[in-house]
Structure 1
Amino acid sequence: MRNIFKGSLRGYVCEDCLEAVSEVEILIYHPYRNANSTANAASNVKETFRFVSKEEAKQRAELLVYKAKTDAEGNFQIEVSENHLDASFDIDFVCGTVPPKHPKPKRDEIVQLHITTFSMRLELEKQAKDEKHRWEYAIAYKWWCYIRGHFFDAWVICGHLMNCQTNKPIANAKVTAMDADFFTDDNLGTATTDSNGHFRIDYTSADFKKTFLSPWINIETDPSFLSFQSGPDVYFKAELGGTKLVDETKADARKNVGFCLCVNLCSDVNVVDPNDPNFPSAWTGIGAAFSSSYGSSSYDFDADGFAGSGKNVLYSVIRLTGQAALRSGSGNPIEYRFRVSDTTAPNNTVSLPESNFTKIVGVTPGLFTSSIVSKLTRKVFSFILNDIFVWSDQSDFDAEGWFDVNHAIERTLIAVGLTPADLALYNIIEEDTLISLNTTALTTAPSIPANSINAGQNIPAGSKIPLEKFAIRFEIREVIDKPSNNFGVIGGNGKTLNSVVMNNNPIYRKLSIKELDESSLCSPISGTIHGRYTVYHPYLAGCSLHLNNNSHTVERDILDGVINTLPAVDERTNNSSQLNNPPADMTRCTYTLKLFSSTRKHNGDYGDSDGGTPLEQLFFYDV
């Protein structure tokens, strides 16, 4: 009976990235220094793995018993003599190359490493019980990365590309690694992600030591200027069909990386697989700034309906964001809709009853606004119709406000001269927007009439703008048989925000100079002068006064104890805010008094620009 010892040798380039150590020579020795007892066979590999010096290799030459070579998978086997069945052996390997077949190093040295000591009898008994069993050894990544890089100039990047929200892998994406340099950034390589979102980029130091004098002079030119670190400063780009998934810059670079770089990249772009029944459907946010949930994080809604840590209120057109599968696992279309209720409740209480939601986006006039809900990008590049943007349309809703993105995609394909069958030629990029809602169709509070209140006057209590809140509900379903009202339940159905504060009123601002009001706007003024202002909005974020003259010898904020007082309230009013800064610093010149202000209105992507341009009052000061 033949006794075959089967083994396998692999090495970690990252903690989750293992590669076969192929085409290397395996050496089996009698134990060095008479360490030949079975009791010593179970060596601690962390202590025994080491380099073998030339001197030691010579001393152990007469102890060599067997040789073998690993195949492409890192496997090897040796036929063991009957005389050696009860012996313990040292196992080494001579590393003449590393994946992906980097040449033997130019330096004149043999890279031999001792792995461990093992009992032949124990290993053969394990193989007798299980014919698939192999003695296996995986070299720790710190050792293997050093061996690859130091002796073979083999550098590697091993990573994954996932969706930031769902942690779902993104396949077929092109990932490019760049080295940030002072002169010109180096392209270290590009790889395509597999079905698990995994990618690997192999390179050498020559790839990141390029200069404008290459190939005659190569050196790593660190962008921090003349620091000349040994490793590259790596940042990443990733795209799928022309859509940017990851767009890092030099500022994001990982500084002076080692021989092995392990990264996890994520993208906010959702790539939809229409045939994947496990693609999660959910309403997750409002724009890019806020979640659609109650919570304590900086982007959640609080119990009263204010958004994020800034206590923002929603205004204008908002994007209701998230993701929805095109079809269920059984191939049926999936539809969704958003409904609105005038009745609200705190967000930290049970969801409002479904019957409260009487307004429907796509049905109630004015609520729906068209927006990009998907993007189709050719799997194989084409100069014609390579990228097609899918805009939502009123025709994509049924009479009850159910939105069918499949209809939107098919309608778009037909509109550009294609057919629904051509969808197979495209990747479907989820654009994050489910539906866009126009909040101006909900809010009704009247604004302060223009010029109804003079600068320096308070806003009458009866004229102030009331609080307006609404609730939003997301519903989603599988369409099994629409004519017979046969629908399936989809996870995420019924997601509700009980309270969302909205406001579409402009800020009310008035500014004047008291001494000009009492004379004429064209008269020079002197002595002690005063500003008048009125700033009002129910969600006032901040306001300030700034004074400067044409020569900018005077350039300062006005601190009058009113406009700069915290915390912010809904109104700032002063009928006599002194502008002079004792001792008198105002010289004969033309001056500008500016009133800056802002509100907490936000559409989920941008804050309100209302109040962004300051009110200005010019005057001439004469000593």
Structure 2
Amino acid sequence: MKYVLRGRIYATICDDRKLPLSRSVVRLYRFEAKDATRLVAAQAKEVFQFLEEKDIKAKQKRLLAETTTDAQGNYSFEIDGDKKKYKGEAVEVDVYYPEIPDYGQEDTDKPRNYKAFQATLDVIQARWKETNEGLLGQWNYTLSRKWWCALLRRLDIWVICGTLLDCESGQPQAGVEVIAMDDDVISDDTLGSAITDASGKFCIFYRSKDFKKTFLSPFINIETPIFPLGNGPDIYFKFALGGSIFHEEDPSVARKPGRENVDNCLCVRLCIEGGQREPVSSFFHIGDARRYHIVLNINPADGRTANKAAASWNEQAFFSTLGLLGTLEKTLNGQPMEYKFQYTELASPTDPIPANPAAWKDVLKTDIANGTIIGFTPKFVTSPPPPHYDPDIYAINAQAGQIDVAFNGNWIVVPQTAQFLTGRLINLISGKLASGNVNMSTLTPGDSSTTVAPLQKNRYFSIRMIKRQAGNAASEAVAGTSRPLATFNTIYQNVPHGGSWAPGLTQSELGIASLDLDELVSGGGCSNITDSITVKYTATNPNLGNVSLAFSGPGATNNFDPIVFTTPGEEAHGTSHYLGSFGDLENCAYEIRLSAELNLTNGETQHDNIWDRVLFCR
């Protein structure tokens, strides 16, 4: 019997805010103590304990399974009950740290003399439920702030979490970069930064070496002054929009209680007088409808979308034309402004974004969709009646009725007309950054696409906006940089469709969905099927979601062998037999349809499912 235990693990931080325990090794152990019932009923604080190397080795023979949580803290264990001699009894759940995970601090170097350790989270008795997969159990867990901070301390990870509000109205301040500083005698250290979410919340992760810097760093790091020796940094904050600091606390705040010599977990509640006073030109989001924040809603581990309340909007790569949104002012430091976009390709989404300007390429005018409206000027007219507003519309690559926006090389010149109101920054044709074609005409449904061509992969691009005073190179400033974005625009050409029933080739799809029936292959495309249905299927895309078969007709049920994902998240192929009652099928026409979900978004909607179908007669 197979046992599957799934769930999600969180950690509690400030204001009961939960953070996912991401990218962490989780272990499941058989629990053999006689007082299992008491410990299952006990509170987590009675069970939690740290384990050192000797304790870890002593538990090794009881290990049932091991897995790693994803970016959202999800985990899944599978236990072969027969092989492990497990019958659903109580288990211990531990988290194991052979390395330093990236919880947001990015630096994963081990502290000096670091030794792998483990922590027991809880003892649980899952409530098993019978499913087609076997026995399924569900267990979610939230680590208390006390133990989360103790765990981070062992890892030399420091965190500042808080909320940013307007001092007068109390309204959350979203999209603001909060920069944590350590007030030091020799020079103030920048610990890290984060951008506030829609609720004004943020978390900044850093390491002790970020505040133990001296004039001899990185050779000698120690918090200054050396005498007396302090344990933690002294914190004050700066605030920025689009890379431009618009407000900062006085460094003396760092010497006040609650900010001086702080522990590795700090909770703060900050406010800005007058909120975000002056609009700042900057690049913030992708897409009008979904508004993916270029940092908060991009998973740094895989470049896909993340952290949206609508779960179906997450784990998507980007494709097609992308609306790049933000704020746009006519001037910069009182002078007319112009802006442009640049991009750089990375081999992996975890690679550092290059600082060298030579690594970036300009987005060209031809890379921007025709008719991209960047703004308009309201205009009241009386003719033809009745009186109404008929604005002047300013667009890149203007179409009929629009006013063409001027370019200075690759710089977009912001119109200087009165009452200029902004629309979007650009509509980027992402296929101009990365595209390609692969010919699948020789694919046989049921086989892997790799029999024809290698599995196609996402490509990763960071996109940034640069602004400047018109013609003034010295005033250039970065105004918003995205995390590396997973992007896919490869076109699959000549994919076999219709099987042996109505063979043909589809053109220009972003994935493969192809099927046939063995009975039609051997008997001919118009053969009647009498006693079996054997589906051959292939579905491919590096962002492949759900793949399913649907059987339509009198007496038909969607009862097939499970779809086999030979490369999870990228390809499913093989054979699936109809498991329903063949005697219930009437002498009639039937359709079997293969549907494949593509987890691709343009920031507005998700790509439609792709499909193939075969018809036959009973």
TM-score (norm 2): 0.42
TM-score (norm 1): 0.41
